[in-house]
Amino acid sequence: MENLLDLVGLSNGLPESGRKKNVAGHDGTLFDFELETELEDLNWECHKWFERSRDHATSGDYSLKITLPPGQYPGINFFGIEKDWSAYRQFKVDVFNPDEEPLTFHVRIDDRSSRWDYGERFDRDFALTTGMTKITIPLDFLKANLSQRPLDRGNIKCLMFFIPGNDRKRTFYIDNIRLD
């Protein structure tokens, strides 16, 4: 069962999924891609490609180069993330768009009560122009899309980034995913 759920990107947060937990470092770092093993915490699927790169790193020597195919919601799901964000005030990620064409970068965060329901999770779009964009989301803003209930910052279950309505193959870089 675990392997089937891994293939479709749904094993994140299951109690017995067998995934190791990615615990925030002492400085709040969730992912900085300095270790090859961090790639094991990503949802590998056909036509997606993730690789460590020395280009556009903002923390250490490496960033994550992401190449996504065209599609309605191609993206990246981080498995086994730190669940307790209650001691932090902000979520941050650095994203580099090498393209001249702007793109929409979507952040999705679910808590234990979201149950994959759009109305019960947090979603935000960010317009990325060419170059580096440093995204900051105050954690007080983590409210469910429709009900507006505050997400339970002590029980975060899912972190995803994607490019909605992606019309072509795209490459971009992310680094320094952290809580502050």
The predicted-structure confidence for 81-94, as pLDDT tens digits, reads as follows: 899 999 999 999 99
- Asked if 97 contacts 103 with a C-beta cutoff of 8 angstroms, the reply is yes
Q: What is the pLDDT of residue 18?
A: 42
- pLDDT tens by residue, 151-166: 999 999 999 999 999 9
Strand partners, 67: 49, 171
Q: Can you list the alpha helix ranges (DSSP code H) found in the chain?
A: 2-7
Q: What is the pLDDT of residue 139?
A: 98
- pLDDT tens by residue, 43-64: 877 667 999 999 999 999 999 9
Q: What six digits make up the tokens of 170?
A: 């795209």
Identify the residue with better confidence: 92 or 22: 92
Q: What is the pLDDT of residue 146?
A: 96
Integer CA distances (angstroms), 163 to 24, 87, 112, 171, in order:
25, 29, 24, 11
What is the three-class DSSP state of 140? helix
pTM score, whole prediction: 0.85
124-125-130-136 Cα dihedral, nearest 10 degrees: -10
Per the listing, tokens 């029980």 go with: 155
Structural domains of the chain, with CATH: 2-13+22-179 (2.60.120.260)
pLDDT higher than threshold 50 for residue 79: yes
Q: What six digits make up the tokens of 176?
A: 């320094």
